[in-house]
Chains A and B, each alone.
Chain A
């Protein structure tokens, strides 16, 4: 391991270091609100290091900086793709920490550990965005899953423990399935490095190995199943609503945004680099197309019946995983003259838009439900009079989740459905649009309850300063990128170049 390797790993190392620092600071300070400030300010370090890496990359006009840790086997790369996700993850984590500042005052102790676990999970996700090797992918996946399970069980009451146990058991099963798939691929190719897998498969698929093709496809399907759990796509979605409902609300926000982003990062990396052979990509893109259609339909239909807003947002993330998988299904090899990066860049653009919108929604939900001690949609009645600002933000983010202009949700849906049309998947785009209409029903119900119902109680609902900051930043992002999305689209397009070259 040379200094250059450490330099490349510095955002992750500083993230883990910050987590340890928070545990230590927690021991010496008595005013726990200092921890929030330390955590948010400390996040500037990994962010700054990522920015330095970004400019270093553009200076050298290199597409990738590789770390081989002295073994000549590349396991870790820094490129625009991984840095895009690092910016997204650090930003989302900062907003989650801001939004949880008020919530953690409910805990009697372990404030520092709460933030530390979030940061450990984030460092795992950042690793996940950068790895190009199956062993490292597995280890980073577990590094994200274990802290999240602990966070889900953090409240230590029955619901929270139940959520933690469900998450942990189902994530262990899914990683066993994922590993079995990885082993089959390893058995075929003799390597775990994604780029080498692609070369080896190229040789295998040209030959006449009829049995080999099927067994290999079985491995690919198992890998899809393992990753499908991470992004909560149907039929691996059953954990999502329960865990979302039972976990502390900031953890729910973190799960729905950061965990999903990391999942899509690793899926894009694995499928576009290792399984990019055309004969394979036709198969897996068909699988993703079907999963996308089923996920969005299931998520939207079941969300209609929910009374708990966290559970409703849980089903809504399943639906959004469906919209996102439209971008995975839209591979360029389906059509000869399609824009090669439209599918993956659509995924990145949709992910960042969804992250901003969903964080706005969750920040508002945390702020309101923390004061009124209820997650039921009915208890949000008349919130427009009790907390006009928070209700306005929640209503605006619901509109963005439906995909109505002038919000980023609209722009990203246009882009990703456009990708589907460009790659001969018109039926999927139509399914997506029909689903957006269905989803309007339950999103607008929240708006209706807040604006048209009489309040249960007249006491105004206030919020603390960090909370207001988180709400304002996300709200401004949702509106800004809804009106002027070009910078975000350009960033997403330059990030995915490395996948298709």
Chain B
């Protein structure tokens, strides 16, 4: 039987993997994918709380509502990020963040 604690552990694990990816990956595209993992970890946590905890009737759906917003905004963010990365690739012929160092990172 799945309980809230399982979802919380899954979410914390995903968030940690995402954070590791952000810090360790060198390609800007892979960093974006890791950020996506972090946001989805948040989503799992939100859905978990909304589904399992016995909240007020009026505010019950807030968790799910926030998930929808997070997904939508993440999509917008990604679109902009890909556009900037393409621009950068045309200028520098690389998307490796170690080499994107005109100004010190």
Contacts and interface: CB of A to CB of B under 8 A. Distances in A.
Interface stretch (A43-51, A135-143, A263-271): A135-143
Contacts of A72: 58
Given A149-B80, A180-B15, A182-B66, 13 more contacts: A138-B73, A158-B102, A159-B102, A162-B102, A168-B84, A172-B32, A176-B35, A176-B41, A176-B42, A183-B42, A183-B45, A184-B45, A187-B53
B10 interface: no
B91 to A, nearest CB: 4
A165 B39 contact: no
Nearest to A200: B56
A180 B45 contact: yes
Interface centre among A162, A191, A196, by most chain B C-beta atoms within 10 angstroms, is: A162
Interface in A176-235: 176-177, 179-180, 182-184, 186-187, 190-193, 196
Contact of A162 (B15, B56, B103): B103
A146 B76 contact: yes
A73 interface: yes
A242 B105 contact: yes
A243 to B, nearest CB: 9
Interface in B65-105: 65-66, 69-70, 73, 76-77, 80-81, 84-85, 87-88, 91-92, 100, 102-105
A168 B79 CA distance: 11
Interface residues of B, number: 42
Name the 10 nearest CB pairs between A and B, nearest first.
A190-B55, A176-B38, A187-B49, A158-B91, A242-B103, A161-B88, A179-B42, A191-B59, A161-B87, A172-B35
Contact of A168 (B39, B56, B80): B80
A157 interface: yes
Interface residues of A, number: 45
Nearest to A171: B77
Contacts of B59: 73, 190-193, 196
20 contacts: A73-B58, A135-B69, A138-B66, A142-B76, A149-B84, A158-B88, A159-B102, A159-B103, A161-B88, A161-B91, A169-B28, A169-B31, A172-B35, A173-B22, A176-B35, A176-B41, A179-B39, A186-B63, A192-B62, A193-B59
Interface in A100-157: 134-135, 138-139, 142, 146, 149-150, 153, 156-157
A80 to B, nearest CB: 28
Interface of A: 72-73, 134-135, 138-139, 142, 146, 149-150, 153, 156-159, 161-166, 168-169, 172-173, 176-177, 179-180, 182-184, 186-187, 190-193, 196, 238, 241-242, 245-246, 311
A71 to B, nearest CB: 8
B22 A157 contact: no
Interface of B: 15, 18, 22, 28, 31-32, 35, 38-39, 41-42, 45-46, 49, 53, 55-56, 58-60, 62-63, 65-66, 69-70, 73, 76-77, 80-81, 84-85, 87-88, 91-92, 100, 102-105
B70 A179 contact: yes
Nearest to B50: A186
A121 to B, nearest CB: 13
A187 B45 contact: yes
Contact of B84 (A159, A161, A173): A161
B94 to A, nearest CB: 11
A110 to B, nearest CB: 13
Contacts of B66: 134-135, 138, 182, 186, 192
A384 to B, nearest CB: 29
A142 B80 contact: no
A390 to B, nearest CB: 26
A183 B39 CA distance: 11
Contact of A165 (B53, B73, B100): B100
B42 A157 contact: no
A138 B59 CA distance: 17
B67 to A, nearest CB: 10
A162 B35 contact: no
A484 B104 CA distance: 42
